[in-house]
Amino acid sequence: MAGNTHLVLRLGTAQTLAWASSYYLPAILARPMAEGTGVPVGSVWMAFSMALLISAFIGPFAGRAIDRFGGRPVLAATSLVFASGLGMLSLAHGPVSLFAGWLLIGVAMGGGLYEAAFAALVRLQGNAARDAITGITLLAGLASTVGWPLSGWMEAHVGWRGACLGWAALHLLLGLPLNVGLPRAAALPPPQTHEGPATRNAPRAPRHVAWVLAYVFAATWFVSTALAAHLPSLLMASGLSLAGALAVGALVGPAQVAGRLLEFGGLRRFHPLVSARVAASMHPVGVLVWMAVGVAAAPVFAVLHGLGNGILTIAKGTLPLAYYGPVGYGRRQGWIVAPSRVAQAFAPLLFGALVERWGAQALWVSGALVASAWLGLLCLRPSPPDPTA
């Protein structure tokens, strides 16, 4: 148990650093970065979107490498790539170097965020990795809570270039040692075919399961990313002041952590499909409450949305494991979640256009998307227990 706690603390801390210095970086540094490089703010967000697209392409290959060699070499390498990309950003003086820095960060994101950490845990613990997956999401759920103030503090004291260098230094001084210190996994030969000896005893799932999971994760992560960018605008379009909108939006983060605690404390006794169905129902219910009651119910929506997000983050790791088992997990999960990275890349732009045109009524679109994901989950049956577990 102590060893598992140590592993969760190590990976959870490294993941907090990885998310805070990549996914959550533009929210604080996009505007000063644009001013410092002489490009529109939209170009910084476009570069970030390109980074997400690159990460979607890299993910399956990183997962395959973790399947074969374990998480330690892959995650350690991404610490170096994160540091290099952030260092390149700190030296950017125009659009070419700006995009180059973000594309390098995209490579690191493809092999260094949750999916890679989940694959590393499964490579070490097999079917017993569910609790550890929940544990690292609990820690890394604080990435925005830690990352936004720290990015803002560094930007105020040493400028945005210094902030990028500060994050790069943290990857070298903290992230790299944490990832290098992960337990070593014995190297395995790559499976020869999908029907070869390495996969013969793996749990079988109907072919459509992977497609349903890919759609569920893409739809829910499109909405999650869209609301991360536009929830304050939605709230103000509904009549709240800026201070009120920020206060309601601040409920999402703690609710996500609460959702992960709910998964760890009670829902883990059930099949991960049960947790995912419960989670996917929360955003549509929140939308219905908001639309029926009005903006006074916005705090209820924020809490329900956050709870669902928190549990679905864990489901991205546990559902592929439950249906397909640990053999070849990294590669398969990389392909399943790749569409969600693509959806994330376009979510702020597309949903922003809906908010600009319809205001708070755009929530009907987000509610319908997540409701369709919930219906997809209802079409799945829980996987049978793995006899080798």
155 and 225 part of one domain: no
Note down the domain range covering 222.
204-378
Would residue 193 be called left, alpha or beta, if left means φ above 0 and alpha means ψ between -120 and 50 degrees? beta
334 and 210 part of one domain: yes
Question: 143-170 and 26-37 are packed helices; what angle lies between their axes, rounded to 10 degrees?
Answer: 50
173 and 270 part of one domain: no
Query: pLDDT, tens digit, for every residue of 11-39?
Result: 999 999 999 899 888 878 888 999 999 99
Q: Does some domain include residue 194? A: no
Residue 191: both structure tokens together: 């499976």
pLDDT of residue 2: 52
What average pLDDT does range 38-67 have in this prediction?
88
* Higher-scoring residue by pLDDT: 135, 104: 104
Q: Does some domain include residue 195? A: no
Distance CA 235, CA 301 (A): 11
143 and 226 part of one domain: no
Residue 80: both structure tokens together: 């170096």
Question: Using an 8 Å Cβ cutoff, are 161 and 364 in contact?
Answer: no
Distance CA 230, CA 389 (A): 43
Q: Does some domain include residue 131? A: yes
Q: Does some domain include residue 198? A: no
Indicate the pLDDT class of residue 244, thresholds 50, 70 and 90: confident
Residue 192 has pLDDT above 60, yes or no: no
Residue 339 has pLDDT above 80, yes or no: yes
121 and 214 part of one domain: no
Closest CA to 89 of 72, 106, 65: 106
What average pLDDT does range 238-252 have in this prediction?
80
Q: Does some domain include residue 192? A: no
233 and 107 part of one domain: no
- Range among 81-90, 250-259, 300-309 rated most confident: 81-90
Which pTM value belongs to this model? Answer: 0.80
Distance CA 52, CA 60 (A): 14
- DSSP helix/strand/coil, 203: coil
55 and 126 part of one domain: yes
Mark which of 180, 214, 243 sits at the end of a domain. Answer: 180
208 and 125 part of one domain: no
Distance CA 78, CA 168 (A): 12
Q: Does some domain include residue 166? A: yes
- DSSP helix/strand/coil, 119: helix
CATH number at residue 32: 1.20.1250.20
Residue 202 has pLDDT above 50, yes or no: no
* Higher-scoring residue by pLDDT: 384, 104: 104
What average pLDDT does range 215-221 have in this prediction?
93
Q: Does some domain include residue 6? A: yes
Neighbours of 353 (CB within 10 A): 11
Q: H/E element holding 162?
A: helix 143-170
What average pLDDT does range 170-195 have in this prediction?
75
16 and 160 part of one domain: yes
Largest separation between any pair of C-alpha atoms in the chain:
61
139 and 261 part of one domain: no
Closest CA to 290 of 384, 389, 367, 213: 367
Mark which of 180, 215, 245 sits at the end of a domain. Answer: 180
What is the domain count for the chain? Answer: 2
Indicate the pLDDT class of residue 195, thresholds 50, 70 and 90: very low
Q: Does some domain include residue 129? A: yes
209 and 82 part of one domain: no
Residue 309: both structure tokens together: 């997000």
349 and 267 part of one domain: yes
What average pLDDT does range 254-282 have in this prediction?
84
* Higher-scoring residue by pLDDT: 191, 26: 26
pLDDT of residue 204: 60
Mark which of 125, 147, 180 sits at the end of a domain. Answer: 180
